[in-house]
Structure 1
Amino acid sequence: MKGVLLVNLGSPDSTSTKDVRKYLDEFLMDERVIDMAYWKRFLLVKGIILNTRPKKSGAAYKKIWWDEGSPLIVLSERFTEKFKQKVKIPVALGMRYGSMSIQKGINELHEQGVTEIFMVPLYPHYAMSSYETVVVKAEEVIAKDFPSIKLETFPVFYNDKEYINTMVESIQRHLEGIDYEHILFSYHGIPERHIRISDTTKSHCQLDGSCCNKPSEAHKTCYRHQCFETTKEIVKQLNLEGKTYSNSFQSRLLKDPWLKPYTDFELEAFPEKGKKKIAVITPAFVTDCLETLEEIAMEGKEQFLEAGGEKYFHVPCLNDDDKWVDTVVKWTKNWENNKN
């Protein structure tokens, strides 16, 4: 029997410092998130970060938390319920981190007799700390506890026609009637070294502003290239002129060089450049979460307005948008048909 496993990032069970610490412990101890030798990662995470960050992160989560729980979890569940109504095979939702685990998702499908799983990591772009860690974790769980199950994973969809069309329609709908001069495409940041580590050619990625535009096998796993391609495809359909949009990267951690330009620096600089009315889009996320609702919609707005900006609008993620649901349903049915 076939089944579908939808996978998203995850969230703490609550905004309490205890629950946030537990979540951050699992997240930051992932070697694909902080790629240090285990002993160094252990000392950094458990000796330093977990002694200070959980309280601060808990306060941030409280600012966005809904009565029903974590927005990311609630929205993912809403998406899953809509999705279930449109397919005839079992569907489960799992998270890479937190109590709603990939293990639980696979077990839920296994108990329904599923022997072939179509896994859809809800990440448009390839990165060690997102798409790759989901695939590795799912493969480990299946090898250890469900060896009879076959797993097939949907590839990253940063330039998929259906995904781009869905994004464009959502952006157009949300920006209708909004007064703006500039669109900022803010992507989740990753360390520059992750780009080089993921370079299968070990030579193409130079982060020099040109390598992303040169054809290469490396682009299959290059987060930076894929982000820029998503922007290009969306911009093409929106008919935006070159000076009316730009890219940036958010959510830095530690002091290592991360992908540039940095979102917060850009937001503070825009007003001086005469860009006082902006809209911000976060295409690296299909579901609104801490990084979009607090970091961009709240903190980003405050930074921009304090720097002299006049109007600021955050475009919501796809969340449980009906067309987005239909897009993933189409991918699933294509997989089913290819298997028959």
Structure 2
Amino acid sequence: MAKKVILLTNLGSPDSTSVKDVRRYLNEFLMDERVIDVPYLGRLLLVRGIITPFRAPKSAAKYRTIWTDEGSPLIVITNELAEKVEKHSGLPVYVCMRYANPTPAYAFKQILSEHSDVEEVTLFPLYPHYAMSSYETAVEHVKNAHRIGDYGFKLNVVAPYYNHNGYIDALVATLKPYLVKGKYDRILFSYHGIPERHIFKTDPTGSHCLKAENCCSVESPAHEKCYRHQVLETTRLVAGKLSLTESNYLVSFQSRLGTDKWLTPATSDVLKDLPSKGVKKLLVISPAFVSDCLETLEEIHEEGRETFIEAGGELYDTIPCLNSNDDWVETIVDLVNKV
């Protein structure tokens, strides 16, 4: 039997809340050609000359509002998840990040130092949906480190699992305790946003995505890499298991960057508009994030609440991410075992 190891990969986090560390993190993140997909020199000027100098101090202040005694919530949660997956699977589990530390090369070095006879490393991206700026860049980053290192072990990759029963059931389990009849006027599924051009770029047909109003519900090979289709499918499956009608919930996209056309509606706009439409009590879940981080703890939980309440909302609750929930751990192990 092959000696098998699991490698979890997540987004990453600054090493600290200092402006210097946040600036370094943002530079690495935003210089990723799959995040800001413009030619290198233009990206360099935009990121290091305009975005990072202004954004780093503000982001550092935001990170300070969520930082714990143990450090970055995302890093702490991912490490807790790794421990539980290791215990449940009986396999060694390691962690690496797409940006900052620990790097894939560091994780591979750890693996080989402790398991010199390893034959297979199964990469589990902590991104349920395919997008070039999340799942794709994380996977390619690890693949590149594996290729450069010329390691003797095989690298397997778990495919996007946006419609996997275990993932859907885990989301349903987080929602159920909140679904007291009449407590909320709506449920908002807020997903990380991406530019529309990323949708076009990952459409292998070149003629399906965003070409028709119902493109995400018309079967197509494009759906294998279509982020919009996949998040709508996740929402549909969760809503179905909870017997929600379309009048019970909404879908929106958060964390917009820049002035390009992004997927709509924007979460910030939805939160401003809902109270005027009679939605005064709102429940928010962010299924694209499986680990609580700046985008959920600060942007959704704090900024989102302020936006909604200032617009006339009365009740605003947010659901924690899957983090290290037992059913989520079981799902990861199940998906790894199927590779």
Cα offset, 1:106, TM superposition: 2.1
Match of 2:99 among 94, 97, 100: 97
Query: 1:173-192, aligned counterparts within 5 Å?
Result: 173-175=177-179, 179-192=183-196
**Superposition CA RMSD, Å:** 1.3
Cα offset, 1:147, TM superposition: 3.5
- 1:193 counterpart = 2:174: no
| Pairs aligned (count) | 335
Cα offset, 1:207, TM superposition: 5.2
Aligned to 1:293: 297
Distance 2:181 2:276 in 1: 25
Distance 1:95 1:310 in 2: 38
Aligned to 2:59: 57
- 1:224 counterpart = 2:228: yes
Distance 1:266 1:235 in 2: 19
Aligned to 1:80: 82
Match of 2:165 among 158, 161, 165: 161
Distance 1:108 1:82 in 2: 19
Is 35-44 or 100-109 further displaced after alignment?
100-109
- Write out per-residue CA displacement over residues 48-97 of structure 1, whole angstroms, 9 at most, x where no aligned residue: 11211110000111111111111111111111111111222221011100
Aligned to 2:153: 149
Secondary structure, counterpart of 1:86 in structure 2: helix
Contact 2:166-2:327 at 8 Å conserved across structures: no
With the length of structure 2 as denominator, give the TM-score of the two structures.
0.96
Distance 2:132 2:313 in 1: 35
Aligned to 1:338: none
Distance 1:244 1:210, change over 3 A: same
Distance 1:71 1:208 in 2: 40
- 1:265 counterpart = 2:272: no
- 1:26 counterpart = 2:48: no
Is 230-239 or 133-142 further displaced after alignment?
133-142
Distance 2:292 2:268 in 1: 19
Contact 2:187-2:250 at 8 Å conserved across structures: yes
Distance 1:24 1:207, change over 3 A: farther
Is 124-133 or 95-104 further displaced after alignment?
95-104
Gaps of at least 5 residues in structure 2 are none
Contact 1:175-1:315 at 8 Å conserved across structures: no
Cα offset, 1:266, TM superposition: 0.4
Aligned to 2:111: 109
Secondary structure, counterpart of 1:67 in structure 2: coil
List 4+ stretches of structure 1 deviating above 3 A: 174-178
Aligned to 1:136: 140
Distance 1:132 1:278 in 2: 32
Secondary structure, counterpart of 1:185 in structure 2: strand
Matched to 2:109, the amino acid is N
Distance 1:212 1:150, change over 3 A: same
Distance 1:13 1:283, change over 3 A: same
Cα offset, 1:107, TM superposition: 2.0
Match of 2:207 among 199, 203, 209: 203
Secondary structure, counterpart of 1:118 in structure 2: strand
Gaps of at least 5 residues in structure 1 are 336-340
Secondary structure, counterpart of 1:144 in structure 2: helix
Distance 1:241 1:51 in 2: 45
Distance 1:38 1:223, change over 3 A: same
Secondary structure, counterpart of 2:98 in structure 1: strand
- Write out per-residue CA displacement over residues 212-256 of structure 1, whole angstroms, 9 at most, x where no aligned residue: 111000000000000000000000011112211010000011100
Matched to 1:235, the amino acid is A
- Write out per-residue CA displacement over residues 258-295 of structure 1, whole angstroms, 9 at most, x where no aligned residue: 00000000001001110000000100000100000000
Secondary structure, counterpart of 2:49 in structure 1: helix
Secondary structure, counterpart of 1:242 in structure 2: coil
Distance 1:254 1:178 in 2: 38
Distance 2:182 2:136 in 1: 37
Contact 1:183-1:244 at 8 Å conserved across structures: yes
Cα offset, 1:334, TM superposition: 3.3
Distance 2:44 2:170 in 1: 41
Aligned to 1:237: 241
Distance 1:143 1:163 in 2: 30
With the length of structure 1 as denominator, give the TM-score of the two structures.
0.96
Distance 1:62 1:208 in 2: 43
Q: Percent identity?
A: 50
Distance 2:102 2:112 in 1: 16
Cα offset, 1:202, TM superposition: 1.1
Distance 2:110 2:286 in 1: 31
Distance 1:95 1:173 in 2: 32
